[in-house]
Chain A
């Protein structure tokens, strides 16, 4: 009986010791993440050929022909200030009936116009702040027309980068 009690005590001690585990405290954290602007990945400048090809397609919804492209490149290179050369070529294309919304369409649904313009030229949606500013700008000035907005977008720095 004593042996049985001793055995029981040993067994009890073994179970008691082996069942004791140290508490493990898990700490969960959030990985640090750098928040960048929506257009931060655009860090490569377009060549003149890329700029004109994409511009032409954006405006006329068809690709520019090779001869026309070479001519356009030569024209751009003939003016030292690229911003001025781009302003002029875009202003010329705007005078050649590009495919774009009318003033009536823009005024009827400015938010759709803004979203589609951002997507067409900058290949992204506007941020809430951008959308709010643009909406306010268009709604507060009846003289704003789609061609003015298109000219500004297609001669902006963001449009020049991809």
Chain B
């Protein structure tokens, strides 16, 4: 009899546990989640348009300039031999005045492709192929959330930061968008306008080249951190009193709900990074802005060990007027990504516990425009069907190594897939699907294997 009672009770408990929502440590009620595949995700998003021909197809000049030279200029990311002649993507030979003559050494012994899974033919399936539209799709998993101009506007659909903060109870400093600059919509991509999400669940944003560049040096550097003097509590007491006497609902400085400890942690990070000056953890070659952003991103990863970091590299956005510079910046982005992946393996807590996802926000045209560069090479805009072709590469715990999924003839994957993929990694994929706010084509890449 007792045994029967015990079985009854345990069956009831098991059913309740699987049906009813869980109460997270933060007090947020979340739906059922599955176990996490990794504790950290770094999503590198190119905002500049990368052609398949010069990336996964490894056609170098053969696919664009009618020159019979093929090869892989992204050898930290992709497996394949580098071009042997007409090298123009490396560092300059200033002595002999030859642009891009010296290829940058590979940093990874095994490419990310050989360590992870590559979706070589992914579709940017809807809307116009604009840079900010692409970035919005990358962070929100939705195309319809992109407005007409795409400038100076927040996404309409929730971002991955908001999903994770609302449903996984992540702190604000667990989620970061690292942008190249403050132009256009970039500082607005950390949270959406969606009424059920928004600022309350925002990720933090930083544009380190501005924060630690001239603007920050003149207006932030050497600021007095009152947290460190032990007087911050007094400032807060006075401020709270003033704020209580101005208690009009919703009338507040648009903060991101960082706690007092997180607020202190961010200020200490800013102060500490200023103190480092030129000793920021930069890649061996760091002659463009993207590579400096990578360096500051590593500082941020070391400091906060965020759950999700989106890094936006934009220097490849020169292909419409300077094909040589486009090749050089792609090669540097690959160098930066190799460096980032290598150094993450030296960060305690993130080493072996981080998934990296790399995806251009969209592609570029098949046919050139009329602009020629210093090498008489043709330039490419982004508006035709070829600009809808991109790739997605991911590596990390539990991800099959050396796997290719899809091909030019059989595309697999969508630009909107990254949001459900990250949600899948953190165990909230079904919740994100159930919310119904991502594109109908969007699937976790793990479900496309």
Q: Which residues of A pack against B, CB within 8 Å?
A: 37, 39-40, 42-43, 45, 68, 71-72, 74-84, 86-89, 91-92, 94-95, 122, 127, 130, 133-134, 137, 141, 143-144, 148-149, 151-153, 155-158, 160-161
Q: Is B8 an interface residue (CB 8 A)?
A: no
Q: Are B242 and A92 in contact (CB under 8 A)?
A: no
Within 8 A of A (CB), among B228-270: 231, 234-239, 241-243, 245-246, 248, 251-256, 258, 263, 266-267, 270
Given A71-B218, A83-B253, A155-B239, A43 and B204 touching (CB < 8 A)? Answer: no
Contact of B241 among A133, A141, A161 (CB under 8 A): A133
Q: Are B266 and A68 in touch, CB under 8 angstroms?
A: no
B252 touches A157 (CB 8 A): yes
Instruction: Confirm or deny: B207 has a beta carbon within 8 angstroms of a beta carbon on chain A.
Output: yes
Q: A72-B215, A72-B219 are in contact. Are A88 and B253 (CB under 8 A)?
A: no
Chain B residue contacts of A83, Cβ below 8 A:
253-256, 263
Q: Is the CB of B246 within 8 A of A75?
A: no
Shortest distance between the CB of A93 and any CB in chain B (Å): 8
Are B215's CB and A78's CB within 8 A?
yes
Nearest A residue to B182 by beta-carbon distance? Answer: A77
Which chain B residue lies CB-closest to A86?
B253
Contact B223 A157 (CB under 8 A): no
Given A68-B218, A148-B231, A152-B238, A80:B210 Cβ within 8 A:
no
Q: Do A130 and B215 touch (CB < 8 A)?
A: no
Chain A to chain B: the 6 pairs with minimum beta-carbon distance, closest first: A80-B205, A152-B238, A83-B255, A78-B210, A158-B246, A92-B223
Q: Known contacts being A137-B238, A152-B238, is A80 close to B220, with CB within 8 Å?
A: no
CB contact under 8 A between A156 and B222, given known A75-B216, A82-B255: no
Residue B226 lies at the interface, judged by CB distance under 8 Å to chain A: yes
Are A141 and B248 touching (Cβ within 8 A)?
no
Contact A79 B206 (CB under 8 A): yes
CB distance from A34 to the nearest CB of B (A): 14
Between-chain CB contacts (< 8 Å), 30 pairs:
A39-B245, A45-B251, A71-B218, A71-B219, A72-B219, A75-B219, A75-B220, A78-B182, A79-B211, A80-B177, A80-B256, A81-B255, A81-B266, A83-B255, A91-B224, A92-B219, A92-B221, A92-B224, A94-B224, A137-B237, A148-B234, A148-B235, A148-B238, A152-B239, A153-B242, A156-B239, A156-B242, A156-B246, A157-B251, A158-B246
Q: Which residues of A contact B216 (CB under 8 A)?
A: 75, 78
Q: How far is the CA of A81 from the CA of B161 in the complex (A)?
A: 14
Q: Is the CB of B206 within 8 A of A151?
A: no
Residue in A80, A130, A143 whose beta carbon sits within 8 Å of that of B245 in the complex: A130
Q: How far is the CA of A43 from the CA of B246 in the complex (A)?
A: 10
**Cα–Cα, bound, A44→B258 (Å):** 24
Instruction: Please indicate the chain A residues that have their CB under 8 angstroms from the CB of B267 in the complex.
Output: 84, 87-88
Which residues of the partner chain B approach A95 to less than 8 Å between Cβ atoms?
A: 222-224
Tell me the bound Cα distance from A8 to B419 in angstroms: 107
The CA-CA distance from A91 to B227 in the complex, in Å, is: 11
Tell me if B242 and A152 are in contact (CB < 8 A).
yes
Considering the chains assembled together, what is the distance between the CA atoms of A161 and B248 in angstroms? Answer: 11
CB distance from A117 to the nearest CB of B (A): 10
